[in-house]
Structure 1
Amino acid sequence: MDQDRLVPLLIGLLLAAWMMAAAWAVLTARSRQKRAENQLRSARRLGRMVEESPALPLLVRSDGRIEASPRLAQWLGLDGVPQFLSELDTGERGLPTAKLEELTEAVRRTQKTAAPFRMVLTPRGSSRSLALRGHLADPQISPGGAALVWVFDFSDSETELTRLRDEASRAKGDFTALVSLIEAAPMPMWFRRPDGELQLVNSAYVAAVGGDSAQGVVASGTELIENVDGLTPAQVARAASDKGAPIQRIVSTTINGQRRAMRVSDLPLGEDGVAGYAVDIEDLEEMSRSFRAFREAQRGLLDQLSAGVAQFDARKRLTFANQPFQRLFKLPASTLQDLPAFERLLDAARDAGRVPEARDFPAWRREKAAWFASGEASEEAWTLADGTHLRIVAQPVPDGGLMLIAEDRTEQLRLSAVRDTLLRTRTATFDSLFESIAVFAPDGRLQIWNRRFAADWGLDSDFLDTHPHMQDLLKKIAPHLQRPAEAETVGGVVRSATLDRMQKGGRIALADGRMLEFAGVPLPDGNGLLAVLDITDSQKAEAALRESNAALIEADAIKTRFLAKMSYELRTPLTSIGGFAELLEAGVGGDLSESGRDYVGAILTSVEQLGDHIDSLLDLSQSEAGLLPLKKEEIDPMPFVRSVVEERASRLQKAGLELDLQASGLLRPISGDRKRLARALGHLVDNAIAASRRGERIRVQLGRRKSGGEEWLQILVQDQGAGMDSRSVALALDGMKASADGKSVERSQGLGLPLARQLVEAHGGALRLVSEPGKGTSALVELP
């Protein structure tokens, strides 16, 4: 019984245990299923997150097999993920060969050494930029030593980075160009900090303030602009910054030692500071001043013109009218105070009767106002009611204004009438001349002639009235000439005057023995004047004068030869007399008494003086004949002049005169004939002694003068005598003097000045006399 009851109980217990085990298994399985589902959902979510992440994994196993997302295949331009790493390059798509080899080597190195790597690549035919970051994979991911490569798509970042790089490069280039432009700018430029202190300056600023470098100028705070009205440049810059608007002013400053006008601008740049620059407007200011001065000078010049000139601006208002214009149009002073318009000016001129009478004056006025819009000058002739004739020229100017020129031609028309009268007077005058006059046109036809022309050439008046051509006229003239072929000479003179505009002349002999002189003169109107003069009588007188002149030349030559010969003939007995006198003085003929010795001394003195006169006469005659021999040597000027003066010491003492010998500067030696130069200088000193009164002073001064690269020796001999007028000076140099009555000229007794002049000129020098009555005479000798 108990067993029967125990078995069901055991069965019940077993069933209960089984039931509990089944329930536990079901619950456990259900829990595991939930966990698996949760893990699957998490895995899917994680996978999806990986798929959507900007970085995709690429697992490369040790045998080269790869695992990756299909999305990575799309990045690489492949249809699907290949099995091996080497298949990522298909030749047309995928990775470039070089980059695939680099990736393969990097993966192999990472698998062996666990060293991470980085690289950047771009698939074939794609603009996508991929960044690869590789490292050894965790054993839980792949236990076989695989490499895990994370692939990042940074195309957008790379594009943005490239754009930013380009913009930065462009901005840097622009900034460099801007800095270079500012540095190379010819105007001073600077930049100030917000407190007004200098921070940057360009090279033009440094040059303007005379600094050594931009850093030195900034460090020292050297200002280009001076204080104006008690404000420093920094204060003006701060004022511009506070106002937030540019400040521009014109100031004067000193640059390179010159005062220059500068237009200075301070430009606020917000919180960064204040920039400034200075433009040199000195030239513009000078041009403006010059323009104003030119305008004033132009208007002053227009006031001096005889023609009336008025200027109108683009608004047709009168801006200027010179005095002749005001007089011509009788403009009152009040008109110029309130400058009128062009139409009002015409109205005022009409009221004054200074415009022509017009049936429709408003239409006439509108017609004249159209001058402003005209593109070229207009000219009209106005005849006024009082008989005045005006020439009006309207000249438009580029600024839209008008210049009106009014010229009173009344007098010119009157002169035109007078001209007709003068033409008739000219014809009558031609007929009254003693010369033959004929006027030829450029075509060779005779235009005007007088009666003398027909008489001198033997021409018929009826023939000349036909105004013949020059060739026909020459045919008529040729039979009256001594040589008919010379008629063409007259034609050549006429052609030269009419066509070549050159003056020529000539002479021609007529068959009756007369001699005519003719000349062709070009006239201003293009015609040619043929003037003919009968010079028969003057030719005869000229021949007689030539014969007389030849006789005079021969007589002068005979005189010169005579003087030269006689000078030599006189020298021989004079030498003998001097020699015998010296023998007597030496006692050869016996002892002489005191009076005898005086006589012998007088003889020797006279012999010496006569010898000097003979030498002077000989030199003069030889010089006039051009045969003067010169024995040149080197002469020291000061000792030479001193010796000449000392030879006349006794004469100076006897005359009671003082001689002052001076020399200025270092005198170089000269080349010349000592004897003849001493004679020339001696004559000048003798003349000074003769012209001076007792107690006066004679000055002899030596100097030098440079001219044309040459140095000249100057010897001045000056006395304080009575002096001479200019006529007497000119005659004295030629050995002449005025007669006592002052009406004629006669030969002077002395030969000193003519001889001195010829001796100086023979040495290539010059002698000049300067004298005034009552102020003495100065003789200046210049020797090369």
Structure 2
Amino acid sequence: MEFSPTALVLLGLFLAAWTMGAAFMVLRARTLSGKVESARRNSRRFARILEESPAVPLLIQPDGRIEAPERLATWLGLDKTPGFLSELDDGENGLSTADLEALSDAVRRCHRTASSFEMVLTPRHSKRSLAVRGQLADPAIASGNAVLVWWFDFSESHDELKRLRKGARRARRDFAALVGMIEAAPMPMWFRGPDTKLQLVNSAYVEAVGAQSAEQAVAMQIELIEPIEGVGAPQVAEQAQADGQPIERIVSATLHNQRRTLRVSDLPLGREGVAGYAIDIEDMEEQNRIFRAFREAHLSLLDLLSVGVALFDERRGLSFANQPFQRLFAMSSAAHQDALTFDRFLDMARDRGRLPERRDFPQWRAELGAWFTSDTAQEDAWTLPDGTHLRIIAQPMPDGGLVMIAEDRSEELALAATRDTLLRTRTATFDSLFESLAVFAPDGRLQLWNRCFAEIWGLPENLMDDHPRIEKILEKIAPQLARPGHKQAIGEAVRSATLDRRQRGGQVSLADGRTLEFAGVPLPDGNGLLTILDVTDSRMAEDALRERNSALEEADAVKTRFLANMSYEFRTPLTSISGFAELLQGGVAGELSDQAKDYVEAILTSVERLSAQIESVLDLTQSESGLLPIATEDLELLPFLTTLVHEHEDAIERKHISLNLRGDRSSGSIQADKRRLARAINSLLENAIAATPEHGRILVSLALHRKVVKIVISDNGCGMRPGELARALDGYQLGADGQPEKRRTGLGLPLARQLVEAHGGRLEMLSEPGSGTTATIILPVT
């Protein structure tokens, strides 16, 4: 069968169209198959997502039937998902009765009013918190006015929410407490906003600035701190906010009408603003000033001490060393001012020979460094190479520093050695004395004694070594006393010396015939010294001397009577001879020849001279025996001395002697025996005239010097040697052959010395061979 070309074309077209349709259908089928597979995959994915989602859906029909996944049963603690809403409470697990009723009421209300609801449910025997949100289900989900309830497990969120709520409540309480504390704070506090203007101030701030209230202080922007060099408190707060760092400064401000020192702090609080507070440190500054003054006074006091003191700080640096410390360790002022560490100080002291020699010096230095960490004070003794002995005390301080005290004990040790030597010397001296000594304390106990004390009483050594009391010693010596009752006298002497601080003594006789003299003497240290001396021989010698004294007194009385008799016996014949010679001279026996008259004149001259010599001998003898009578009267010296000089005019003119008399009436008068003082001055004038050669010079002067009168008689004669002058003043002396030694002045000088001394004065003689002799009479002026 043959087809026309048109039919073939149409058939081709048809086949092409059918092929294309088939291909299209195949492609469409394949597309739909892919979409179905994609929808299936999406369904499985969304189902899985729903299972893994934190929310579980619950579909509740109006008749109470429910549809829910098994996960909800797990949340509620049920074995399987129940079919009805009422079965969510099985009596033991699931929801509680109250929660189920609340859920049922909410579901019914949602059925009637289509209003959604929310609640929180907690299953029985579970800490899980379930949030429930219910609403009418979309008709696409379920028809018939069903309610879709979503269950959310927000246990962790609920716990976190409770924690946050609790924290919020605590924060509110803390904030209220903080606000109350800030309000009650005694220091001014404030807060500035981002614009550095005051927004909040406390009561202390209001009171400090004198405002009526905090609102007024904020409204008027009353600043507590005045601007300093044009920079006010807002500018400082702005700088703190810009830098993000707190700014602290010490300024002066007026608080309560008083100028006080404040420590002001500005604390940036990020974008919120700047907080600030001011602490009144005036009292602290005052305490600092007092402490600095105390420290300076303390250091000044340490500088005045005789012991060396050095202070090291917690870094072991030398912070202070007084003058004695610098002298002891030969420190220069530059070394003291430099930052000198403890180890460097030891090295420097060692270099200058001010430390003891040590074999391992580094180890010893490390041991000394342990002083800083020691719990107690350390003490050490250092002996320096030059012999200086130092007592070192190291006291660690609580702040980690160290106080080092150096005391020079060289003198103390030398004194101790001297004291030991003195004690040994005292003991040896006590034991070497013939006198018995014992020292008793105020309580009567024997402290010190010598060997003679034990020997004189016959006391055993073991008794003395026990340092017995005086009562025990008196009991031991009582049998040796002639009268045992005398022991009380010895005890009273010790008690008087130790307690009454008075000296007391006496004598006791022993049974063996000895006589002991005792005395209690108070000592400066409060003890008492008992001295006992054996005066037996002295007592015997005293008795002998007493007998001899009686004999001498009797002999003196015999001598006195002899002098009185001799005075009478000498004067009576001389008076008779003088009287008969004067009768012969007067012509009673007739006219005498010229030769007889010369004889009579010679007799009268000799009698007069012999009378003077006898009177001188008697006066000298009475003066030496202390029996010379002195009859004093008021005697004016210048006329008296002038008269005596005129009596020797003849002898002076015969030798052509130049006599110079000096004196005035200002010399005054004295109480003296005129006759005997005249004899003394005449003796000196006669010796001067006899010793002065022809044409010589004699000086007689009278002067008043400080309540004494000086009469000076000086000549330019031959003078005497010291030995001759001494013999002349002592009178006649017997030589080795038993004969009187040769002298040239007779009894004049000894008699003049005795007479002057009898008037309470003294005679001074000065003589030099070839230059003359000077005699000075010194008499007191009454």
User: What is the TM-score of this pair, normalised by structure 1?
Assistant: 0.49
User: What is the TM-score of this pair, normalised by structure 2?
Assistant: 0.49
